[in-house]
Amino acid sequence: MIIFLISIFNDKLVVRLYINDKTDIDKIISLGINDISAIDLRKKYIDVVVNETEYNKIKNLYPSEIRLRSSDIKTLINFGPYYTYNEAMSEIQNFYNSYPNLVSQPFIVGLSWENRQIKGIKISSNNNQKPAVWFNSAIHAREPGGVSALLGFANYLLKNYNKSLEVKYLLDNRDIYIIPVTNPDGYVFNEIYPSGMWRKNKRDNNNNGTFETTYDGVDLNRNFGYMWGCCNGSSPNPPDETYRGPSPFSEPESQAYRNFFNQIKPTIGVDIHTYSNLNLWPWGYTSTPTSDDSAYRTLAWKMFRHNAYRSFQAYFLYMTDGTTDDWIYGATNEHNKALGWTFEIGENFYQPDTNIILEQVGENIFPFLYLVKASGPYIEIEKFNYIFKNDTIIVQISGQNLGFNNPINNLYANLKILDNNNAIGIDTIAYIGNLNSLGYGFFNIQFKFLSLNNCKNYKVHIVFYNNLGFNQIVEKFIAGQKNQVFVDDFNNNSNWQVNGGTWVFSNGYLRTNPSGTLYNNNLNTDVRLLNPLNLSSYDYVEAIITHKWRIEGDYNALDNVYDFASLDFSNDNKFFIPIRRFWGINNNFRSDTFDITRFKDNNVYLRLKFYSDAFVRDSGWVIDKIEILSANACNITKFDEPLKADFSKIKVSYKDNFLILSIPYKSDIQVKVYSINGSLILNKTFNYQEEIRIKLKRGLFIIRVKTDREEILQKVIF
């Protein structure tokens, strides 16, 4: 019993060692130091978790600093704002109770060594089997930040089902599986374990009936069968933190994971960890890239614009084997090929600050949404442009199919104008053809329609469909006439609250630091609007930021992001979602425009955030102007006479190469005739005549007639 107590109270340290290159990492591992929490070869450091004895082995070999002493953790948090195991299980039950039409009754994936339930939920709007995506967290017991990020994402999906057409489509067309605590024994142990730093499960390795922290437990993320123990990426020694277990899938937790994953057959599998702010993908056991490296990189590019996480193949962090993401991608003898991902969230294992936790949830909303999209066929519109030519509006769009291993064949797109009284379509159906999978399936198409009454604003749906059952609606807005809701050119700080840092309002600019200086290290500061904006009454809202920057990192390299600036929005001034993050070098002012309609509400908060690490500094972020513009669709035109297919009371006929219009009431008449491609052929106003004759060759035309009583537009063929 005394030994048991001593082992429990053995202090753990998170130590940063400053190294020269990767050979130093190999040397550190050869000393038996294999519990690695972070590596950055550019910054030349490695973070390791060690006890006092191990620390004494290495502290004189490399310059070092203690980043966290585990004996301080419990007095600091007592799990505080993080979910305990019971709270996480209660939360998924609450999701079901609050949204029974969107959330399944929590189900048991499997049991742990100590017979705790590994529970999950499925988020989906119906029971039809659909493309599946898998999210799990806390496979390592000391990583509650991943549980918070995952349950926060689930909460976002449920709250936005009836607010966002995008979220609604995903819940209507995906099965989203959420398994918040994959290692319940270890997780619960950390709730009482003084250091809170237990990593493994609670297998009794020597079968002596006593749990010994110096010998027992298996690293579940080294216990998966694909390339298990192949390459010195795990340990065969039970005392080690990366002990892989006696055999592949020897643990009930990894068996439960495997069996349920193989049963539901997801296309994407995401294992959420802490920490390091990384997105990682296979392989971990070899430097050779996967055959789907292009697909991985395409998704990584989309995600890291929002969370600014360095993104690369897992091997280049350090070698691992028997991991979840390698098994998800590689074990095609057990399931269809799926993209396996590892997220490393945050800057430490325990960051018990509600604001930091909300930050970690918010910065991963868009990345997680991308992974849900990629789990099945999904059209992502990359560019949406429109041109006004007289009464003709030309809409040009380009995009791609994000779905992994989900080509879309015989694809069409149909532009639907939601207010048909103010416009008529000309070319509103486009054939796209066969669209390949993620990373390859790009398209460019064009639509045309004619506007009535000089209307410039339209809410439109672009419907993508084929004869094989695919149907996706993307809502867009044509905003030819916008109104300014808010603008600030930073002549003073009267609209803003400054939170930390050295922000400067000077000469019509907002700067992260005074002109001619470098920003400070270790910043996590922001400037936010004092008063929220009421955007609830608008159909469309956009934000325009005019800015330039020099911030450490390279925006064109997935693995080179350290400091960043961020444009964020919130509806409660607490939970902010980054619409875009910026780093690298942009020496000249440019204006970036973002659709922020998803945030429209009675209270919309804007935040400008800046983050820096402890290393390289530069001249920072300079913002010239922030502008919020809005638009509403045109009001439905009302006529004295109803619009009818036969031009209401106007009679149309054709004889001897003449278009003949008969008007049975007194009125001036404006007549416009268009070719079928939208070109204006005739634009003429007539004084009242009972019959108007216009010379016109036979063909297909669009005729627009405006009188004092009505305005109508219709296709005709003669």
Helix axes 144-159, 165-173, angle to 10 degrees: 110
344 part of the active site:
yes
Name the pLDDT band for 421 (thresholds 50, 70, 90): low
User: What are the tens digits of pLDDT across the range 531-561?
Assistant: 999 999 999 999 999 999 999 999 899 999 9
pTM of the model: 0.89
In this structure, what token pair is assigned to residue 202? 């609670």
Name the pLDDT band for 682 (thresholds 50, 70, 90): confident
Q: Which of 45, 24, 10, 78 is nearest to 241 (CA)?
A: 10
Same topology between domain 85-375 and domain 486-631: no
Name the pLDDT band for 694 (thresholds 50, 70, 90): confident
Domain ranges, ordered by start, for the chain: 13-75, 85-375, 379-479, 486-631, 650-717
User: What are the tens digits of pLDDT across the range 165-192?
Assistant: 999 999 999 999 999 999 999 999 999 8
Q: Is residue 650's pLDDT more than 90?
A: no
Instruction: Work out the burial of residue 615: count CB atoms within 10 Å of its CB; fewer than 13 is exposed, 13-18 middle, 19 or more buried.
Output: middle
* 379-479 fold: Immunoglobulin-like (2.60.40)
Instruction: Name the catalytic one among 251, 344, 363, 627.
Output: 344
H/E segment holding residue 170: helix 165-173
H/E segment holding residue 299: helix 293-307
User: What are the tens digits of pLDDT across the range 301-346?
Assistant: 999 999 999 999 999 999 999 999 999 999 999 999 999 999 999 9
CATH match of 486-631 with 2.60.120.260? yes
pLDDT of residue 8: 45
User: What are the tens digits of pLDDT across the range 186-215?
Assistant: 999 999 886 789 999 999 999 999 999 999
Q: How many helices (H) and strands (E) does the chain have?
A: 13, 38
Q: Is residue 74's pLDDT more than 80?
A: no
Q: Is residue 41's pLDDT more than 90?
A: no
In this structure, what token pair is assigned to residue 627? 């502008």
Average pLDDT for 3-23: 71
pLDDT above 70 covers a percentage of the chain that reads: 94
Average pLDDT for 93-120: 98
Q: Which residues pair with 631 in a beta bridge?
A: 540
Name the pLDDT band for 3 (thresholds 50, 70, 90): very low
In this structure, what token pair is assigned to residue 596? 């922020």
Kindly report the CATH number that applies to the domain delimited by 85-375: 3.40.630.10
Name the pLDDT band for 641 (thresholds 50, 70, 90): very low
The Cα–Cα gap between 567 and 526 comes to 10
pLDDT of residue 105: 98
pLDDT of residue 676: 66
The answer for residues whose C-beta is within 8 angstroms of residue 643's C-beta and 6 or more apart is 421, 710, 712
The listed range with the strongest mean pLDDT (328-342, 422-436, 454-468) is: 328-342
Q: Which of 234, 254, 243, 233 is nearest to 213 (CA)?
A: 243
User: What are the tens digits of pLDDT across the range 702-712?
Assistant: 888 888 877 77
The answer for residues whose C-beta is within 8 angstroms of residue 672's C-beta and 6 or more apart is 391, 680, 682, 683, 703, 704, 705
Higher model confidence: residue 442 or residue 660? 660
pLDDT of residue 401: 95
Say if CB 597 and CB 648 are below 8 A apart: no
pLDDT of residue 567: 99
Q: Is residue 75's pLDDT more than 50?
A: no
CATH architecture of 650-717: Sandwich (2.60)
Q: Is residue 77's pLDDT more than 60?
A: no
